[in-house]
Amino acid sequence: MSALTPSARQASLFLSVAPPATPAPAQAIDRSRLPAQVWPAHMLAQQAQAWPSGHTALDAQLPGGGWPLDGLVELLQDAQALGTGASVWQLLAPTLVSRMADRPGVVVLVNAPHAPFGPALRARGIDSERLICVQADSAQTRLWAAEQALRCADALAVLAWLPQARRMQLQRLNVLAKDKLLFVMREARARYEASPAPLRLLIQGGDRLELQLLKRRGPPCIQPVALTALPERLRALLASRRRPSEPARPLAIALPDTALPLQTVPQEH
């Protein structure tokens, strides 16, 4: 058997090496065929029911382009800001205005730190006569009041200040939040605790809010969302609160500590 010449060996080696296989093109994911609980890691989940927040920059970062109507939204603040409630009104006022304009019903406030300020509410377009304020001394009674509000057909939204709420208690509220806006306010230190809320935000800042999305159905949101400052007219009205002014006229309800015991709510798995 004769040996191959150098040129023949090179040609044989070249022919024996197969060309690299061309990778198959990636197929686009048909999101319409995915269940609501499944979404691509790099995309926001599809939110079947959502209500616009009224803040364009925020809606762009929320699944469905707004607040969920079928789950709990947890708003976290430091203790001092939580005790005033001003940032919560600044954040949620556009949502409440559009929701109240769209259909009849009431907004229920559970354990709000202060009585709503009438002129400031009217400056934002909120009808204070459609607010129901519920105050209770014990954490258990506040939770019970929030649950009853979620069961009420006339409730458009429930805003509950529940700094002592635990994970299982939040789970109960999350299950009951159907076709309603539910916001629960807690202290910022709760960010390190597990929560059933599909959406969690940390509120920081004063007139100009910065929102850090701690949890959402979608990829992490690295940069905080900045909201515009308060309008000059509203800022003047808030400053005038130090002087005697016309109070708001919400319906206030004080619940005794002997309120009905909590009922069992089936949990989602």
In a domain, 265, yes or no: no
Whole-Å CA distances, 72 to 174, 198, 213, 246: 5, 7, 14, 33
Calculate the CA 245 to chain-centre distance.
Answer: 33
pLDDT at 36: 54
Q: Above 90 in pLDDT, residue 76? A: yes
Distance set, CA 52 to CA 71, 122, 160, 193, 267 (Å): 15, 20, 20, 27, 27
Distances (CA, A) of 215 to 55, 75, 101, 219: 18, 11, 29, 9
Banded pLDDT at 251 (limits 50, 70, 90): low
The CATH number for 69's domain is: 3.40.50.300
Residue 186, in any domain of the structure: yes
Any domain includes 210: yes
pTM for the predicted model, two decimal places = 0.74
Is 264 a domain residue? no
Q: What pLDDT does residue 155 have?
A: 96
Domain with 130, as residue range(s), is 48-255
Structural domains of the chain, count: 1
For 84-123, what is each residue's pLDDT tens digit?
Answer: 888 899 899 999 999 999 999 999 999 999 888 878 888 8
**More confident call, 38 vs 226:** 226
The answer to whether residue 199 sits within a structural domain is: yes
**Per-residue pLDDT tens for 8-37?**
555 554 445 555 555 555 555 655 555 555
Q: What integer is the mean pLDDT of 226-238? A: 63
Of the pLDDT bands very low, low, confident and very high (cuts 50, 70, 90), residue 191 is very high
